[in-house]
Each structure stands twice: as structure tokens, then as C-alpha cells.
Amino acid sequence: MPGATPARSRHDDPRVRDRLGVIRDIKRQLVIDAARRVFEAHGLEGASIRLIAIEAGCTTGAIYPYFRGKEEIYAAILSQTLIALKQFIEQHLARHRRPIDRARAALAAFYAYYKAHPAELSLGLYLLRGAGVRPVGLSRDLDRDLNGQLRTVFDAIIAAIADAGFDRAQALTVDGVSHAIGLLVMDGTGRLRIFREPADGLMMDYLERLLPQQ
């Protein structure tokens, strides 16, 4: 009818859009959670969209509106891990006031997070399989984005160490993170049992040597 106001779509209602957004986020997270279990069981190469769909209880077609492939899902998992890791470190830093305690707490939190979430460490290290330490399986863009997130985690540790008055805070961070990962790998594979030394105690002793009281 001339002059009539066009009927509004239900999707024009902000409340409807909000509900649809929540539903979309829930479905996306269900895919991510299912993929996490598949990747833990099969690795990136052994996983497939079909296996992820079976684990999620949906069709493969239901996944593609959220992710173009398994690599994007894998990147989403790693991204969520890095967000949680950064928050965990910040929470530990907030518990301490003395600069030296904060410096040690930053690296201790990095270690403690992955000690409590060994599967997340394994998923991250899976990218370094194969020849050398070349990341495999992610596009250049995804790898760049994840490296940016990882850098923010390291920057939080670097800042805490620098605030405690240590020179070469970045080098100390690299040293501490590398030591933590090495201990976690040896502990996770059971190799530390050869020495009958507890990983937690070794890490704490190491931090006192790496970051001595000034």
C-alpha cells in the first residue's frame, strides 16, 4: 500500500540480535570445546572437520559458518589459552606488592598455569613438531596474530622483572620461560622421576637463582 511503513524484520530488534549473538557464541564455543578434545587425541594433522563434527554432535556444514577449516579452530583454541594465561599471570601479580616477589610470581604463574593445564601446553608445543622449530599447520596471518598475543603475555612478565630492577629483563624472561617449559615437558613425560626431584621445587629454586634478592 502506498505510504505504508515497511514491516520490520525480527532481526532489526536489538533484543533479538542480542539473543542470536549469544546463541552463535554458544554454538561456536561448543565447536571449539569438541575440537579441543579431538586435537588432544589426534593432533592437528590427525584431526578433521568430520571428526570435530562427530564430537560436537553436529554436521560438518554446521561448523563452516564459524570456521573455514580446522586450522582456524586450532588457532581459536590457542588464542583462548593465551587469554587465560595472561589473566592467570595478572591475578598472581596482584597478590604481591614487593617488586622481587612480583618478578618471581610472573614466571611462577607461567609455570603453574601449564602445570595445571598440561593438555594446553601439548597443543601449543604441537606446532613445533617436525624439522627444527618451524611452526607448522597455521597460516601466516594466524601465526602472526597468535605471536602478538604471546608477546603480550611475555611483556607482562618482562615488565614485572624490569620493575624489580633487573637489567636485561627480556633475556631473563626468555630464560625463565624456557626453563619452565623444559621442566614441564620432563615432568609430563615422567623423565624427572629418574632424578627423584619434584618439578615444583626445582622451579622455585631456579627462580631464586635467576632472580636473586637485590
pLDDT per residue over 72-84, tens digit each?
A: 999 999 999 999 9
Say yes or no: do domains 10-67 and 69-214 share a fold.
no
Which CATH fold would you assign to the domain 10-67? Arc Repressor Mutant, subunit A (1.10.10)
Share of the chain above pLDDT 90, in %: 73
Domain boundaries, given as residue ranges, for the chain = 10-67, 69-214
Judge whether residue 160 has pLDDT over 80.
Answer: yes
Output 100 or 123, whichever has higher pLDDT: 100
Q: What is the CATH number of domain 69-214?
A: 1.10.357.10
Residue with cell 593438555: 119
Judge whether residue 68 has pLDDT over 50.
Answer: yes
Sequence-separated (6 or more) residues with CB below 8 Å from residue 44 = 70, 71, 74, 126, 127, 136, 137
Say what the pTM is. 0.84
Q: What CA–CA distances, in Å, run from 107 to 73, 164, 181?
A: 28, 13, 11
Judge whether residue 199 has pLDDT over 90.
Answer: yes
Residue 132: left (phi > 0), alpha (psi -120 to 50), or beta?
Answer: left
User: Would you call 58 helix, strand, or coil by DSSP?
Assistant: coil
Mean residue pLDDT of the chain comes to 89
Overall average pLDDT of the 85-98 stretch? 98
